[in-house]
């Protein structure tokens, strides 16, 4: 009875976007892992065969997720959060290292990545905490606690090392902003990023000069009556300049060489064109190859299974983090634009869904889902097309990988279940 | 506001991505990416280069197969070195050395192990080759020359350099291209087109099959054979006559403009620039800065034409109506320019056009030249008219022949003298040397021959050219078929040709007569100078001769320019008469003369300015010329 009603009330548009993305993703995984000798698409010895199995598993799990009571997720969110934190801690003792990162539990038939579970659990826990009647986000203490929920998993994950996943947790702060955290926190963070980047590019002296010019401009344009808080202003300036100075220190002494290289490449800090080209082809090899592959696709692409760079495996991690370059090479601008538009539509649809929720918990969880999907999509595609530095993070629904797909599916469909349930909630 | 924040971030990110993607995939995209795709390897199939034949279908250049033993060091397995070395005809030490060299170059890529095996060695090796893992035989095609002459005409081929690669995208590193001569001029015809196969590779450079099942692949197109206008026998004969002499000979068929022979002395055997010794030989030729064997004197050497140029001045004067053939001028064993006397060897007396030409009287032509200038109000006007007439014979400009090099020569204009002397500060007496082909005029041997052909045709010429047939079919290039008319009317040529015939009968070339052949010619003796330690020193005169024969219905027009050969008939005249006889009769009746020309060398003359001692020029006694240079040195 309830199953049927769920099917009626579920947002089929979102489901459509989801199915399309998973389907297009699989087509491209098939293309990038395909070889002439493969006998059938159901051959589970091949990567695309395995992925097909994961997709079917995910579809099956959707049924379970939808069948569970909606308030189950709210009720057990704290427990889930504690379990996932314990699992993250456990990695320090029992973790399996793959490709330099200790992020997995070896379950024999399956490698479990608890950070994926932690992302969903943190989104739930944060929603639960913020929607609690006793929580007031205007209070400093509650702000701090909300940030702690995000920070704990992030801090546990950074040493794995997995900076990509750590970033995902920070993205959850969007939820807190949506729920009333003053926007100037975001402004401060944004300013910090700008100072960081400009200091690397132009040096502290130029940053200071620009700040000085801005203050002069500010004094020229301000209304006469306006009383300038001299003390706060000078403090802000001093802090900014100190921050700028620290950037150089951190960049040169705390960062590892590979991080410096990635930033150097991204911001084009190397001025000699010959050397820059050299760096692009060595340190920036992945990005260079994926950019070239995408570029070679042109407007219409080379066609399904015709991507020469894909077939030659020139782009590393082609079927996982760099799957988007296959789209670019084989389907051209038509394909890449379609995928970008699909993701944008999905995310916008989710914003719409989140805003129409009746309960605070559902809305906040919805925002959590959007934040997580958005940061993955933004960083992954940004990296593959060369506008962001290299940070290893999968493309949701697209990249090869069982736990990833299961996790994103669960993340999304828990929200769809909550959404389907929103009218019942009041009764 | 806060509700919109996330939505706007999503939209901004989407727009940024699509912007970046359109930059990459629409603006940076270039459709010929298949050429730079690292995943696609091109494998080439080279066609055989076209053969070159002479005008009578005699082979000049063909191809010879050559076999290189190649090695891929990483794939070399244990083998019977003793047997292998004896098959290749090398010793063990060489085997070890070559293998090490190849490994240093690349263990994975093929290197040449032993280049250019003979056919016999190849036959022996071929059946055993499969025992030697990592070694294989690569067949190549080398140019083979069926003649040891015409190196300057045929040219040679060599590997493409950076410049060629930048200019023509067809070539890739290591391919061959025509470097000079016909090989360069008709590169596209001779080369054919290589076939290409596209092979898909993975990032380890392993082949994983044909790209798109080979739909882009092409088959090689064979290079075409060509016939050139050169007469192999005449060319070879001319080069033998040129032995030990410097200069150029060009023979043209007046009725077509076809170049019958084009000889530059000294020259070299074209097969020197093929095969294992190629670079050594090339350096030797290239660094011979005294004899300059690579310098094609027949089309590149610019010099004063000397007396043959008088015929043109006579034609200009007739055309302008300032003289007629019976006009007489007194020769005082010379003539006066201001108060200075210039000499003449004609014997003095009254000269008209006919005796002026056959006795080659300087005074007569100086007078004719003055008359041309006196016709006009200003020298500028006269100079323009004179220049226009002279240039209509193809002098002072590129002739437009189909060989990759050439020189313009020089026919001075009024601007030339204005810069030299100052505006209007010169008159006909300043430039009077041009009347006798000295002074500022300069021509190449091929221009001289072409000028002679224009006289032989009584007023027109065909652009000289070297290509006769492509793939057995006659060429039809409009520029080579249309006559180029001179500005002189046909009727004025007869008295000139009569004079040139009398040169041969009773004038300066009366000792060169060929039994049964009527020749019209003109001798030239060209004063020339060099600098020794920046002092201007006069050298023995250049010997020049132009001629065409038979006088009626000419079959050959020829110019011979022999550096430091003294007076015109001494070397140039004799050589020209032998060439004409060889071409028209096929055999030489005057064997004594032939023997003398084949044996005599001018090395004695060429050594003079280099010896660092005083020397005499224009020695009448030519006994020295028979001796080889080594003998002269020991004296």
Q: How far apart are CA B102 and CA B242, in angstroms?
A: 46
Q: Which residues of B touch A (CB under 8 A)?
A: 2-3, 5-7, 9-11, 13-14, 16-18, 20-22, 24-26, 28-29, 31, 33, 37-40, 200-203, 208-209, 211-212
Cβ contact B29–A296 (<8 Å): yes
CA distance B394 to chain A (A): 52
By C-alpha distance, the chain A residue nearest B10 is A344
What pLDDT, on the 0 to 100 scale, is given for residue B367?
92
Number of Cβ within 10 Å of residue B534's Cβ equals 5
Domain check: are B370 and B469 in the same one? yes
CA distance B163 to chain A (A): 22
By C-alpha distance, the chain A residue nearest B7 is A348
Cβ contact B6–A387 (<8 Å): no
Quick check: A383 pLDDT over 80?
A: yes
Question: Which residue of A333, A355, A367 is in closest CB contact with B22?
Answer: A333
In a domain, B10, yes or no: no
In a domain, B482, yes or no: yes
Q: What is the count of residue pairs from A and B with beta carbons less than 8 Å apart?
A: 108
CA distance B4 to chain A (A): 9
Q: Helix A360-384 crosses helix A285-297 at what angle (to 10 degrees)?
A: 90
Cβ contact B6–A178 (<8 Å): yes
Q: Residue B266, preceding bond cis, omega within 30 degrees? A: yes
The residue among A36, A288, A290, A298 with the most chain B CBs within 10 A of its CB, best to mutate, is: A298
DSSP line for B92-142: HHHHHHHHHHHHHH-SSS-EEEEEEE-HHHHHHHHTTGGGSTTEEEEEEEE
CATH number for the domain including B546?
A: 3.40.710.10
Question: Which residue of B10, B18, B25 is in closest CB contact with A348?
Answer: B10
Q: Please, are residues B164 and B171 in contact by the beta-carbon 8 Å criterion?
A: yes
By C-alpha distance, the chain A residue nearest B202 is A312
Number of Cβ within 10 Å of residue B130's Cβ equals 9
CA distance B194 to chain A (A): 24
By C-alpha distance, the chain B residue nearest A338 is B18
CA distance A130 to chain B (A): 16
Q: How confident is the model at residue B68 (pLDDT cuts 50, 70, 90)?
A: confident
Burial class (CB in 10 A: 0-12, 13-18, 19+), A217: exposed
CA distance B108 to chain A (A): 19
Buried residues in A264-280 as b, exposed as e (16+ CB within 10 A) = bbbeeebeeeeebeebb
Percent pLDDT > 70 in chain A is 93
Which residues in chain A are closer than 8 Å to B18, comparing Cβ atoms?
A: 337, 340-341
DSSP line for B342-398: EE--S--EEE-HHHHHHTT-HHHHHHHHHHHHHTSSSHHHHHHHHHHHHHTTTTTS-
Cβ contact A299–B9 (<8 Å): no
> What's the whole-number mean pLDDT along residues B497-520?
91
What pLDDT, on the 0 to 100 scale, is given for residue B612?
80
End residue of a domain, out of B101, B117, B145: B145
CA distance B540 to chain A (A): 60
**Element (DSSP H or E) covering residue A266:** helix A257-266
In the numeric block, which tokens belong to residue A4?
Answer: 């049927």
Quick check: B205 pLDDT over 70?
A: no
Dihedral of the alpha carbons of A27, A30, A34, A38, in degrees to the nearest 10: -110
Cβ contact B24–A351 (<8 Å): no
Domain check: are B127 and B266 in the same one? no
Contacts of B632 (CB under 8 A, 6+ apart): B603, B604, B607, B624
Quick check: A171 pLDDT over 90?
A: no
CA distance B164 to chain A (A): 24
Q: How far apart are CA B160 and CA B546, in angstroms?
A: 40
Question: Which residue of B26, B39, B212 is in closest CB contact with A309?
Answer: B39
What pLDDT, on the 0 to 100 scale, is given for residue B84?
87
Strands A101-106 and B467-470: what pairing? unpaired
Question: Which residue of A183, A314, A344 is in closest CB contact with B11?
Answer: A344
In a domain, B405, yes or no: yes
**Element (DSSP H or E) covering residue A191:** helix A184-202
Within B242-327, residue ranges assigned H as helices are 278-286, 297-300, 308-319
Quick check: B622 pLDDT over 70?
A: no
Domain check: are B132 and B270 in the same one? no
End residue of a domain, out of B145, B169, B194: B145
Q: How far apart are CA A315 and CA A286, in angstroms?
A: 6
Q: How confident is the model at residue B623 (pLDDT cuts 50, 70, 90)?
A: low
Q: How far apart are CA A360 and CA A134, in angstroms?
A: 13
Q: How far is CA A178 from CA A61, A351, B3, B519, in A?
A: 30, 11, 7, 110
By C-alpha distance, the chain A residue nearest B213 is A306
In a domain, B209, yes or no: no
Question: Which residue of B2, B16, B40 is in closest CB contact with A178?
Answer: B2
In the numeric block, which tokens belong to residue B418?
Answer: 């204005």
Higher-pLDDT residue of A412 and A134 is A412
The residue among B20, B21, B200 with the most chain A CBs within 10 A of its CB, best to mutate, is: B21
CA distance A7 to chain B (A): 27
Q: Please, are residues A357 and A419 in contact by the beta-carbon 8 Å criterion?
A: yes
Nearest-CA neighbor of B597 among B572, B624, B630, B632?
B572
Question: Which residue of B5, B17, B211 is in closest CB contact with A308?
Answer: B211
By C-alpha distance, the chain A residue nearest B33 is A296
Domain check: are B141 and B236 in the same one? no
Q: How far apart are CA B275 and CA B141, in angstroms?
A: 10
What pLDDT, on the 0 to 100 scale, is given for residue B198?
80
Question: Which residue of B2, B18, B37 is in closest CB contact with A340?
Answer: B18
By C-alpha distance, the chain B residue nearest A294 is B25
Which residues in chain A are closer than 8 Å to B6, comparing Cβ atoms?
A: 174, 178, 351, 367, 370-371, 374
Would you give the DSSP letter of residue B35? Answer: G
Q: Which residues of A touch B (CB under 8 A)?
A: 36, 174, 177-178, 183, 291, 294-299, 306, 308-309, 311-314, 328, 332-333, 336-337, 340-341, 343-344, 347-348, 351, 355, 367, 370-371, 374, 377-378, 381-382, 385-387
Domain ranges within chain A, ordered by starting residue:
1-8+33-68, 70-182, 189-283, 290-313+325-353
Dihedral of alpha carbons B439, B445, B450, B453, sign: positive
> What's the whole-number mean pLDDT along residues B3-8?
82
By C-alpha distance, the chain B residue nearest A386 is B20
Tens of pLDDT, residue by residue over B369-402, are 999 999 998 888 999 999 999 999 999 999 999 9
Q: How far apart are CA A15 and CA A112, in angstroms?
A: 26
Q: Please, are residues B306 and B560 in contact by the beta-carbon 8 Å criterion?
A: no
Quick check: A202 pLDDT over 70?
A: yes
By C-alpha distance, the chain A residue nearest B36 is A296
Q: Please, are residues B573 and B521 in contact by the beta-carbon 8 Å criterion?
A: yes
Q: How far apart are CA A315 and CA A385, in angstroms?
A: 12
Question: Which residue of A312, A328, A386 is in closest CB contact with B25?
Answer: A328
Dihedral of the alpha carbons of A407, A410, A411, A413, in degrees to the nearest 10: 150
Q: Which domain holds residue B109?
A: 66-145
Q: How far apart are CA B436 and CA B187, in angstroms?
A: 42
Q: Name the strands in the sheet holding B40-45, side by side, starting at the edge strand that comes first in the sequence.
A: B40-45, B195-201, B207-210
Strands B467-470 and B473-474: what pairing? antiparallel
Quick check: B210 pLDDT over 50?
A: yes
What pLDDT, on the 0 to 100 scale, is given for residue A1?
42
In a domain, B166, yes or no: no
Cβ contact A344–B14 (<8 Å): yes
Cβ contact A299–B29 (<8 Å): yes
Q: How far apart are CA B384 and CA B575, in angstroms?
A: 36
Across A31-40, A403-412, B179-188, B599-608, least confident range: A31-40
Quick check: A425 pLDDT over 60?
A: no
End residue of a domain, out of B145, B177, B206: B145
By 3-state DSSP, what share of chain B in percent is helix, strand and coil, each rounded to 5? 40, 20, 35
CA distance B236 to chain A (A): 55
Instruction: Map residue A401 onto helix, strand or coil.
Output: coil
Quick check: B553 pLDDT over 80?
A: yes
Domain check: are B322 and B420 in the same one? yes
Q: Helix B81-88 crosses helix B119-126 at what angle (to 10 degrees)?
A: 150
Q: How far apart are CA B509 and CA B546, in angstroms?
A: 11
Cβ contact A355–B3 (<8 Å): yes
Strands B329-331 and B349-351: what pairing? antiparallel
Which residues in chain A are closer than 8 Å to B24, comparing Cβ atoms?
A: 291, 294-295, 328, 385
Quick check: B33 pLDDT over 60?
A: no
> What's the whole-number mean pLDDT along residues A325-342?
92
Quick check: A216 pLDDT over 50?
A: yes
By C-alpha distance, the chain A residue nearest B22 is A333
Percent pLDDT > 90 in chain A is 24
What pLDDT, on the 0 to 100 scale, is given for residue B453?
96
CA angle B536, B539, B543 (to 5 degrees): 140
Specify the pTM.
Answer: 0.63
Average pLDDT of chain B?
Answer: 88
Domain check: are B273 and B405 in the same one? yes
Higher-pLDDT residue of A167 and B369 is B369
Would you give the DSSP letter of residue B303? Answer: B
Number of Cβ within 10 Å of residue B104's Cβ equals 10
Total domains, chain B: 2
Q: Please, are residues B310 and B365 in contact by the beta-carbon 8 Å criterion?
A: yes
**Phi, psi dihedrals of residue A172, rounded to the nearest 5°:** -65, -15
By C-alpha distance, the chain B residue nearest A340 is B14
Domain check: are B101 and B238 in the same one? no
In the numeric block, which tokens belong to residue A288?
Answer: 């260079």
CATH number for the domain including B130?
A: 3.90.1310.10
Rg (CA), chain B: 32
Tens of pLDDT, residue by residue over B129-176, are 888 888 888 777 888 999 999 999 999 988 888 888 778 878 877 778
Which residues in chain A are closer than 8 Å to B208, comparing Cβ atoms?
A: 311-312
């Amino acid at each position: 009875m309830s199953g049927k009603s769920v099917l009626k009330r579920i947002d089929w548009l979102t489901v459509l976007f989801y199915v399309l993305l998973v389907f297009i993703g699989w087509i491209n995984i098939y293309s990038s892992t395909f070889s002439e000798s493969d006998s059938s698409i159901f051959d589970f010895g091949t990567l695309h065969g395995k992925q097909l199995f994961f997709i079917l598993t995910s579809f099956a799990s959707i049924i379970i997720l939808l069948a569970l009571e909606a308030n189950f997720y709210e009720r057990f969110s704290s427990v889930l959060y504690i379990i996932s934190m314990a699992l993250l801690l456990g990695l320090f003792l029992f973790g399996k290292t793959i490709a330099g990162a200790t992020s997995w539990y070896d379950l024999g038939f399956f490698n479990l990545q608890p950070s994926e579970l932690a992302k969903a659990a943190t989104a739930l826990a944060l929603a639960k905490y913020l929607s609690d009647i006793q929580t007031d986000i205007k209070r400093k203490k509650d702000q701090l606690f909300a940030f702690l929920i995000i920070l704990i998993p992030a801090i546990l994950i950074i040493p794995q090392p997995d900076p990509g996943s750590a970033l995902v947790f920070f993205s959850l702060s969007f939820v807190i902003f949506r729920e009333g955290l003053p926007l100037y926190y975001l402004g401060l963070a944004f300013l910090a990023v700008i100072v960081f980047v400009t200091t690397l590019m132009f040096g502290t002296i130029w940053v200071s000069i620009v700040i000085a010019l801005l203050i002069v401009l500010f004094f020229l344009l301000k209304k006469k009556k306006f009383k300038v808080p001299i003390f706060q202003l000078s403090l802000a300036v001093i802090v900014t300049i100190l921050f700028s100075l620290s950037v150089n220190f951190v960049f040169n002494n705390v960062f590892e060489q590979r991080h410096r290289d990635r930033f150097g490449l991204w911001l084009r800090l190397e001025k000699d064109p010959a050397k820059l080209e050299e760096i692009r082809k060595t340190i920036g090899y992945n990005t260079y190859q994926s950019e070239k592959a995408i570029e070679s696709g042109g407007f219409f692409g080379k066609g399904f299974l015709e991507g020469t760079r894909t077939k030659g495996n020139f782009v590393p991690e082609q079927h996982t983090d760099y799957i988007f370059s296959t789209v670019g090479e084989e389907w051209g601008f038509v394909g890449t634009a379609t995928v970008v538009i699909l993701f944008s539509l999905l995310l916008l649809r989710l914003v719409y869904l989140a805003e129409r929720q009746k309960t605070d918990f559902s809305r906040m969880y919805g925002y959590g889902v959007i934040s997580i999907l958005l940061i993955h999509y933004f960083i992954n595609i940004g990296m593959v097309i060369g506008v962001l530095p290299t940070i290893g993070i999968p493309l949701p629904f697209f990249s090869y990988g069982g736990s990833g797909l299961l996790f994103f599916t669960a993340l999304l469909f828990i929200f769809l279940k909550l959404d389907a349930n929103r009218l019942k909630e009041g009764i | 506001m806060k509700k919109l924040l996330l939505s706007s971030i999503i939209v901004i990110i989407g727009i940024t991505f699509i912007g970046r993607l359109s930059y990459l995939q629409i603006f940076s995209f270039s459709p010929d990416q298949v050429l730079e795709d690292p995943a696609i390897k091109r494998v080439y199939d080279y066609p055989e280069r076209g053969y070159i034949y002479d005008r009578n279908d005699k082979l000049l250049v063909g191809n010879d197969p050559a076999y290189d033993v190649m090695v891929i060091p990483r794939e070399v397995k244990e083998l019977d070195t003793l047997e292998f070395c004896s098959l290749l005809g090398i010793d063990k030490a060489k085997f070890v050395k070559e293998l090490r060299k190849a490994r240093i170059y690349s263990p994975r890529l093929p290197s040449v192990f032993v280049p250019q095996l003979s056919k016999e060695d190849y036959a022996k090796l071929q059946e055993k080759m499969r025992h030697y893992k990592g070694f294989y035989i690569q067949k190549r095609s080398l140019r083979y020359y069926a003649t040891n002459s015409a190196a300057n005409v045929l040219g040679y081929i060599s590997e493409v350099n950076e410049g060629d690669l930048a200019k023509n995208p067809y070539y890739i590193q290591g391919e061959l291209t025509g470097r000079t001569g016909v090989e360069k001029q008709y590169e596209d015809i001779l080369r054919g087109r290589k076939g290409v196969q596209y092979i898909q590779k993975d990032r380890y450079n392993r082949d994983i099959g044909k790209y798109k099942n080979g739909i882009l692949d092409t088959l090689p197109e064979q290079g075409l054979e060509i016939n050139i206008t050169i007469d192999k026998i005449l060319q070879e004969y001319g080069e033998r006559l040129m032995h030990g002499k410097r200069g150029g000979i060009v023979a043209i068929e007046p009725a077509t403009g076809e170049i019958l022979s084009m000889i530059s002395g000294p020259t070299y055997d074209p097969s020197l620039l093929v095969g294992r010794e190629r670079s050594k030989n090339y350096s030797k030729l290239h660094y011979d800065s005294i004899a300059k064997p690579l310098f094609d004197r027949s089309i590149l050497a610019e010099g004063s034409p000397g007396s043959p140029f008088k015929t043109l001045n006579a034609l200009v004067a007739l055309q302008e109506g300032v003289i007629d053939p019976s006009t007489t001028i007194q020769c005082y064993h010379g003539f006066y320019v201001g108060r200075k006397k210039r000499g003449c060897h004609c014997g003095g007396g009254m000269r008209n056009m006919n005796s002026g030409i056959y006795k080659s009287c300087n005074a007569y032509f100086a007078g004719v030249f003055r008359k041309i200038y006196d016709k006009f109000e200003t020298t500028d006007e006269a100079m323009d008219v004179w220049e226009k007439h002279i240039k209509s014979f193809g002098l002072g400009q590129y002739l437009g022949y189909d060989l990759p090099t050439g020189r313009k020569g020089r026919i001075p204009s009024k601007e030339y003298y204005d810069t030299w002397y100052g505006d209007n500060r010169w008159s006909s007496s300043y430039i009077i040397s041009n009347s006798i082909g000295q002074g500022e005029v300069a021509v190449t041997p091929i221009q001289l021959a072409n000028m002679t052909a224009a006289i032989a045709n009584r007023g027109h010429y065909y652009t000289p050219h070297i290509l006769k047939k492509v793939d057995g079919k006659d060429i039809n290039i409009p520029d080579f078929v249309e006559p180029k008319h001179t500005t002189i009317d046909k009727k004025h040529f007869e008295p000139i040709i009569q004079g040139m015939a009398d040169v041969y009968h009773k004038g300066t070339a009366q000792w060169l007569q060929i039994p049964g052949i009527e020749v019209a010619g003109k001798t030239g003796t060209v004063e020339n100078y060099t600098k020794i330690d920046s002092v201007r020193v006069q050298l023995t005169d250049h010997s020049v001769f132009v001629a065409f024969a038979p006088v009626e219905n000419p079959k050959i027009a020829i110019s011979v320019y022999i550096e430091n050969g003294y007076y015109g008939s001494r070397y140039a005249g004799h050589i020209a008469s032998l060439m004409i006889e060889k071409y028209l009769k096929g055999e030489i009746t005057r064997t004594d003369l032939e023997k003398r020309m084949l044996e005599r060398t001018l090395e004695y003359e060429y050594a003079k300015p280099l010896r660092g001692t005083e020397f005499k020029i224009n020695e009448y006694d030519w006994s020295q010329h028979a001796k080889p240079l080594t003998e002269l040195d020991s004296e």
